[in-house]
Structure 1
């Protein structure tokens, strides 16, 4: 995170020196903008996998594949996912960033609650939290941990097993 500076952003974007400072006066503002942009990029990348609403899912068989695809998308862009982990850690030290990070997280968790509710979960809020945590754990293990990167088929099997246990 030390490398994220106004000067570094100006250089990376090919902007005149001081341009970033005009938009984000402080380091906190720069981090907030970075998190907002990262959330936008993730939402755009995941839209094809997660675009279906509860009414679009004919049965449980479609959801594990969509979740596996979403995780696979995140794993395919290691740089973006690592940046999110860095910002997550930074948010543990900055309450103003924590609020924004938590708000961004709700954009992913709330649809999971809706999907699990529609599919008959006995406790959709708890199950959504577990579903997101499971996916995050798979990603972290593959990107920052000691695990291998799972294939799309392996992710599909993992999500199928998890959801079958939640929705029995």
Structure 2
């Protein structure tokens, strides 16, 4: 049973409990009653907040996006930073070619893979459910745009000749790596931050040209 945190809004408490159930039990384990039990709330509390299953799923998607935003800190990537959770090192100014940009992206992705694998499991549970629920698909895609937009701006500012296509390639590479390291054949061999940095550097050099090679 989840511990109720003082000062936590009930909506967040319910959504966090829903994400916890998704990570541990999958979509079948997500029910209004189970959320009440996990959140330590009186029976019926979740139904009062999200009356339908669709509403409960939307609450989970919304909370997932909020928590992912804190982990990935896309806005700080624009400044060349690698901050996020407490204890992560601060940013060091604007990007300095592929070296700093790759380092910032690698730090964010490594933080997600190693510290928040449960959120990744939730992401895939909800993404698969969205393929069967058109109304959830629209909502899921809308929340995802908050991450693509900063990357598109970043690639544009970096001088990409085709920022839309390069953003797609960057997102697809990250998504593939996240799935492989969470539920695929590499789940026991998550790359370290240096390996991720090398991968991002190779991608960026290919997209932006040799002028972005790290020094």
TM-score by length of 1: 0.94
Are 1:89 and 2:89 matched, yes or no? Answer: no
Shift of 1:51: 1.0
In structure 1, runs of 5+ residues without a counterpart are none
Which structure is richer in relative contact order (CA contacts within 8 A, separation 6 or more)?
Answer: 1
Shift of 1:46: 1.7
Aligned residues: 167
Q: 1:71 to 1:88 in 2, by over 3 A?
A: same
Deviations, residues 31-66 of structure 1 (Å, cap 9, x unaligned): 00000001001001222x651426932433211111
Are 1:155 and 2:180 matched, yes or no? Answer: no
- Whether the 8 Å contact between 1:39 and 1:104 is mirrored in structure 2 is yes
User: Larger C-alpha radius of gyration, 1 or 2?
Assistant: 2
2:109 aligns with one of 63, 68, 71: 71
C-alpha distance in 1, partners of 2:195/2:162?
A: 26
Moved segments of 4+, more than 4 Å: none
Q: Larger helix proportion, structure 1 or 2? A: 1
Q: Give RMSD over aligned pairs.
A: 1.4
1:25 aligns with one of 41, 51, 57: 51
Shift of 1:4: 0.9
C-alpha distance in 2, partners of 1:66/1:72?
A: 10
2:78 aligns with one of 46, 53, 65: 53
Deviations, residues 99-145 of structure 1 (Å, cap 9, x unaligned): 11111111111111100011111100110011011011111111110
In structure 2, runs of 5+ residues without a counterpart are 1-26, 81-93, 210-215
Shift of 1:151: 0.7
- Whether the 8 Å contact between 2:152 and 2:164 is mirrored in structure 1 is yes
- Whether the 8 Å contact between 1:50 and 1:66 is mirrored in structure 2 is no
- Whether the 8 Å contact between 1:60 and 1:119 is mirrored in structure 2 is no
TM-score by length of 2: 0.74
The correspondence of residues 102-141 of structure 1 with structure 2, limited to 5 A, is: 102-141=141-180
